[in-house]
Amino acid sequence: MAQTEFDALKMVQPDIVGSARYLGMAGAFGALGGDASAIKDNPAGLGIFRTSEISATLNVMSQNSDAKWNGSLTNDNLMKTGFNNFGFIKVNSTSQDQNNSSGLINSNWAFTANKIKSFDRNSTISGTNQLSSITDYMGYFTQGIASTDLSSANKPYDNINVPWLSVIGYQGFLINPTGISSWESLLNANENVKPTYNIRESGAINEYAISWAGNFGNSLFIGTSANLKSIDYYKTSQYSESFGGGGGMSLTNTVSTTGAGFSFDAGVIYRPIDILRLGISAHSPTFLTLTDENSANLDYYISSTNNGNFDTPTAYNSSYMLATPWKVDASAALIFGKNGLLSAEYSKSYSTNSYFTTTNGDTSGYTDENNGMKSMLQDVQTIKFGAEYKVSNSLAVRVGFANMSAGSNPYADKLLRPNTTRTDVEYFVDNNTNFYTAGIGYRLTNWYIDFAYVNKATDETFYPYNSNNLTYKVNPANVKTNTGNFVLTVGLKL
């Protein structure tokens, strides 16, 4: 067993990524359409296009992470460049009169490739002395397991009833027996430890979509998309403690997840009057087939004669399926002729309906995890606002704001299963995410160029392990991450 509720959260928590015009208005495009990135929110927006086009978006990310743990402040930075999206729009006119008030006027097709979520993050979190230690957690977690089952002579990593965390705690001399199958930390009573944690995450969720939309009488737009999603996620983390009485330990974990899945979207945009557009869309669950690989390395220094380093004998591979949640979007926009527009959008992702299955679709082996998702995860609500003003026929300026609610319960506690191979016991609890955006665009007859800046401000609470059942509770850290994205889109009318 290797999957936890917080692994699922990484895959189902939404993000706001796209073209420069889309991001300049914080992604509030559900009722607007006319942008390649907007198709992923409401495929009916494809019907708004009047001419064929091709576009691509470059993104430069600058990230700053500040962490405060027991009064200690630490900072980390990351810079990365990549592509957000590519879009090819093919407009097919079915009526010679484009101002026709009835019937199918355009039947449009599109192929789009969108990055819909980035996992990139660097963070360093360092705390001051505390009484709670991960060795206390290891001792608690190992209760009921005999030392003979943890001995390397008995191949404990192959024993499905023995968690790997207990094995490395025993083999690294971090826990001591108090009976035949009872354990405690090697530390003396009231001995302090100084903790440090580093995490490096990379990868993305990419979506490749074929979409169709029809324009009916310039007042009703209906669209649908078939999507292939691909997952590529990698994490390396290191948790270290310096013991107050001398010595210390450092546990390094690597986790990778790859996979793919299909989903379908459908949407409608209705224009009751010239100034107003209303949009609604539904997004089916994605049934992802995923493969995880995890391994661990422990450095320990107990004394000059008792120290060492070892790896878990091999990386553990597991394949499974994850059903991501349904999502619905509702939106509205006011269009003031050629002078500008205001737009708003509300979306809800039903994260608590996510669930794990085996690759054969059996959920019985994931009862605890699936029940845990209902209590640990929260449905995510996103509100977006955007505005655009035409300074001239060619030049437009844009601003936007979006708020995304927490994806995890603020009282959530990460639970390791008794037979888990995972030893990365840390977890982050979402508090709030805000997006502040601005942009500018220049358009001529046959081409356009757009630029946007997006500041994504994320607030999280970090726990190095679940200490609820320990004598000494661990104080969590507060982590604030500001991610600045500089986005450039170039488009060519065909």
For residues 346 and 6, give the distance between their C-alpha atoms in angstroms, rounded to a whole number: 25
How many contiguous H segments (helices) and E segments (strands) does the chain have? 6, 21
Three-class SS state of 168: helix
> What are residue 37's phi and psi, to 5 degrees?
-70, -30
Measure the CA dihedral 188/191/194/199, to 10°. Answer: 40
Contacts of 108 (CB under 8 A, 6+ apart): 46, 47, 49, 89, 90, 91, 92, 212, 213, 214, 215
Does residue 364 carry a pLDDT above 90?
Answer: no
Angle formed at CA 396 by CA 453 and CA 60, multiple of 5 degrees = 20
Query: Hey, which residues does 290 pair with through a beta bridge?
Result: 259, 320
CA–CA distances in Å: residue 24 to residues 317, 403, 453: 41, 15, 7
Higher pLDDT, 155 or 283: 283
Q: What pLDDT sits at residue 453?
A: 98
Share above pLDDT 90 across residues of the chain, in percent, rounded to a whole number = 77
- The Cα 342–Cα 335 span in angstroms is 7
The two tokens of residue 44 are: 């009916």
Q: What is the mean pLDDT of residues 344-373?
A: 89
Percent of residues, the chain, with pLDDT higher than 70: 96
Q: What is the DSSP code (8-state) at residue 471?
A: S
CA–CA distance, 38 with 178 (Å, rounded to integer)? 61
Question: Contact at 8 Å (CB) between 141 and 147?
Answer: no
Could you tell me the CA-to-CA distances from 239 to 427, 432, 449 in Å, in that order? 12, 25, 45
Q: Cβ(161)–Cβ(418) under 8 Å?
A: yes
Could you tell me the pLDDT band of residue 3, with boundaries at 50, 70 and 90?
low
Tokens in use for 244? 């107050």
What backbone phi and psi angles, to 5 degrees, belong to 423? -125, 5
Name the DSSP letter for residue 1.
-
Instruction: Look at residues 24, 49, 14, 491 and name the one whose alpha carbon lies nearest to residue 269.
Output: 49
Token pair belonging to 396: 């437009």
Q: Can you name the residues that pair with 87 across neighbouring β-strands? A: 55, 112
Mean pLDDT within 331-360: 93
Q: Check residues 368 and 54 and name the one with the higher pLDDT.
A: 54
Report the pLDDT averaged over residues 88-94.
94
Q: pLDDT class for 167, splitting at 50, 70, 90?
A: very high
Residue 304, sorted as left (phi over 0), alpha (psi -120 to 50) or beta, turns out to be alpha
Confidence of residue 22 (pLDDT cuts 50, 70, 90): very high
Name residue, tokens 């013991």: 243
pLDDT category, 311, cuts 50, 70, 90? confident
> What pLDDT score does 415 carry?
65
Lowest mean pLDDT: which of 108-117, 320-329, 365-374, 445-454? 365-374
pLDDT digits (tens, 9 = 90+) for 199-244: 999 999 999 999 999 999 999 999 999 999 999 999 999 999 999 9
- Per-residue pLDDT band for 43 (boundaries 50, 70, 90) equals very high
Most distant pair of Cα atoms in the chain: their distance: 88
pLDDT tens for each residue of 389-444: 999 999 999 999 999 998 887 776 666 666 788 899 999 988 889 999 999 999 99
Secondary structure of residue 352 in the 3-state scheme: helix
pLDDT at 66 over 60: yes
DSSP 102: S
Tokens of 353: 């309906």
- pLDDT for 409: 77
**What is the pLDDT, as a whole number, of residue 418?**
65
Identify the pLDDT of residue 101: 67
* CB crowding 175-205: b at 16 or more within 10 Å, else e: beeeeeeebbbbbeeebbbbbbbbbbbbbbb
Q: What is the pLDDT of residue 92?
A: 94
Average pLDDT over residues 332-359: 93
Residue 351: exposed, middle, or buried by beta-carbon count in 10 A (0-12, 13-18, 19+)?
A: buried
Model pLDDT, residue 371: 86
Q: What is the DSSP letter of 407?
A: S
Q: Which of 54-58, 128-132, 261-265, 317-321 has the weakest average pLDDT?
A: 317-321
User: What topology does CATH give the domain 5-133+187-493?
Assistant: Porin (2.40.160)
Asked whether the predicted pLDDT for residue 95 surpasses 80, the reply is no
Confidence category of residue 270, pLDDT binned at 50, 70, 90: very high
Mean pLDDT over each residue of the chain, to the nearest integer: 92
- The tokens of 364 are what? 């019985």
Q: Is 116 helix (H, G, I), strand (E, B) or coil?
A: strand
* Whether residue 299 has pLDDT greater than 90: yes
**For residue 97, is pLDDT > 70?**
no
